[in-house]
Amino acid sequence: MILLSDALVQARMGFDGIGWIAWIVLGGLAGWIASKFMGTDAQQGIVLNILVGIIGGLIGGFVLRLFHVSTAGFGWILTFVTALAGACILLAIVRLVTGRR
């Protein structure tokens, strides 16, 4: 019974304990920093930075799940690093597909 109530609390909080507003903020920061690393900041606005960061978080989470790693116990820090790494991967893939430097 305790496990069920813990699962319900986590489900209400959403996204492994981090709310959707926090995902937007973390995604925006991760997308902006990734665009600085990858040299695409001049081509992107704030909305695209947020989208790249959020999609990067999904990509990073997928890669971590391939290796059976969970970010649930690490909170915001590993979540941000995961989104940052995923955003860099996404921007590298876009660069390869479009051929832009």
What pLDDT, in 10s, does the model give residues 6-58? 444 444 444 455 667 777 788 889 989 998 888 887 777 888 888 888 888 88
Which structural domain, as residue segments, surrounds residue 91?
2-98
Please give the pLDDT value at position 101.
58
Domain total for the chain? 1
Check: CB of residue 26 under 8 Å from CB of residue 18. yes
Cβ partners under 8 Å of residue 100, min gap 6: none
Which of 4-8, 11-15, 76-80, 90-94 ranks highest by mean pLDDT? 90-94
**Using 50, 70 and 90 to split pLDDT, how confident is the model at 5?**
very low
